[in-house]
Amino acid sequence: MPPAQARELHRLRFVTDPLYGEHLRGVAHPERPQRVEAVAAALLSRGLLERTIAARDATDEEIARVHTGAYVELVARETRRLKSPAYLSTGDAVVDASSDRVARRAAGGAVAAVEACVAGKEAVFALVRPPGHHAEPDRGMGFCLFNNVAIAARAYQAAGGGRVLVADFDYHHGNGTEAVAGNGLSYCSTHAYPAYPGTGARSYRRGDDLVANVPLPPGGTSTEAFVAAWETLLPIVAAAIRPSLLLVSAGFDYVAGDEVGDLGVGVHAAAPIAAAIRRVADEYCGGSVAYVLEGGYGIGALTESIAMIARAHDGRPQSSAAAQPDALPRSVRESIRTFSEIAKEAAK
Ligand SMILES: [Zn+2]
C-alpha cells in the first residue's frame, strides 16, 4: 500500500508521553499506569499508534485560566515532597511526588491535542493521565488534579478560537467542567445519577452557552439506549451552539464490568458514538475534534473502545445513522426534550 493511502486510513493521531506512566506507579489504585502504558502498547501493535504528537507541560498561564493560584500552589506543596502516596487535601485524589509534574503534562497533552486537531482539521486522541473532568477551579477530586479539557478549551480560545463544545460520555458527571462552563464553553454529558460526584441533574443556559445533562439510572442502561442518547443529544446541542471545536471527555468506565463505573453498556457502543462525534466535527468544526482520556479502568475495554474510535475516524466516508429515539427510556427522552427547548431558546 502506498504511504499516502496508508495515512488516509489512519486519521486518528495520538498524544502520549512516557511521563504519564509515572503518577501512582507501584500504588494499588484503579487509576494506574497500565491504563496508558498497556493500552498504548496494544494500539501500537495494531498499527494505530503512528504519527504520535509530542506532549508538553501546560504553562502556569494556561492552568491559571481554569484553576485558582492558591489551588495550583496547594498541588505543588502537597505533592512534591511526598515520600509515600497520600490523599490530596481537597478530595479523593491519591497523589505521589510525581503527580504535579504528570498532571501538568496531562493538561499540556490536551492542549497539544487541540493545537494538532485544529491545525490538521482532524481527530486527535490525548492518551493522558491523571484524568481531569472532576477537577474544579479550587479543588482536585475523583482522581483528577487539573481539568485537562477545560485548560485545552481555554487555550484554544486564548489563541483566537471560537466556541467549544465538550461532550462527556464518562460514567461519571464532569462536575469540574460544568463548573467552568460559560464564556464560549458549552458542556453536554451522559452520566449515572445519582452517583459520584452527585452533580448533573439538570440542564440550563449559562449566558450564550449550554449545559446539557442527561442523567442515566445508575443500575445500568442498554447499549442501544446509551448510543441513542448520544446520537440524539449531540446534534441538538451542536446545532444550538455551532461550535468551532469539539472536545470529548472520553471516559470508558460506562462499559459493562468496569471496576469503578459500569453502566452495563457493551464495549461496541464506542463505534456508533464516535461516528456521531465525527459527523458533528465534520459539520461544524471542519473535522477538528480532540478526545481526552478520562476514566475507564479495564485495559481491554479501553483498548477496544479507542481502536473503534480510530476506525470511526479513518478515511472512509460514513453514512449518517438515524438516531433511534424508541430505544430511549422515558426519563432520558424527558431530559432530552428539556434541553432541546433550552437549546432552541439559546439558538435564537
Ligand atoms: Zn469516570
Report angle CA 176, 182, 188 to the nearest 5 degrees: 60
CA of 253 to the centre of ligand 1 (A): 6
Task: Report the separation in Å between the CA atom of 94 and the middle of ligand 1, taken as the mean of its atom positions.
Answer: 15
The pLDDT, as a whole number, for residue 7 is 45
- The predicted model scores a pTM of 0.96
- Residue 87 CA to ligand 1 centre (angstroms): 18
| Ligand 1 geometric centre to CA of 294 (Å) | 7
Ligand 1 is a single-atom ion; what residues have CB below 5 A from it? Answer: 170-172, 251, 253, 295
Annotated domain spans of the chain: 9-347
pLDDT of residue 262: 98
Cα distances (Å, whole numbers) of residue 181 to 102, 143, 165, 186: 25, 21, 10, 6
Fold of 9-347: Arginase; Chain A (3.40.800)
131 burial type by CB count under 10 A (0-12 exposed, 13-18 middle, 19+ buried): buried
What is residue 170's predicted lDDT score, i.e. its pLDDT?
Answer: 98
Question: What residues are annotated to the active site?
Answer: 134
What separation in angstroms does the CA of 44 have from each of 13, 47, 254? 12, 5, 24
| Residue 232 contacts residue 339 (beta carbons within 8 Å) | no
Gap from CA of 311 to ligand 1 centroid (Å): 23
List per-residue pLDDT tens for the chain, 348 residues long: 444 444 445 579 999 999 999 999 999 999 999 999 999 999 999 999 888 999 999 999 999 999 999 999 999 999 999 999 999 999 999 999 999 999 999 999 999 999 999 999 999 999 999 999 999 999 999 999 999 999 999 999 999 999 999 999 999 999 999 999 999 999 999 999 999 999 999 999 999 999 999 999 999 999 999 999 999 999 999 999 999 999 999 999 999 999 999 999 999 999 999 999 999 999 999 999 999 999 999 999 999 999 999 999 986 655 555 566 677 888 888 988 988 898 888 777
- C-alpha separations of 184 from 36, 54, 150, 161, 213 in Å: 31, 27, 11, 10, 17
Distance, C-alpha 178 to centroid of its chain? 13
Question: In the structure grid, which three cell numbers stand for residue 51, read together?
Answer: 504519527
Residue 187's DSSP bridge partners are 166, 211
State in Å: Cα 254 to ligand 1 middle: 8
Evaluated on CA atoms 72, 151, 65, 197, the torsion sign reads: negative
- How far is Cα 298 from Cα 39, in angstroms, rounded to an integer? 10
Q: Which pLDDT score is estimated for 5?
A: 46
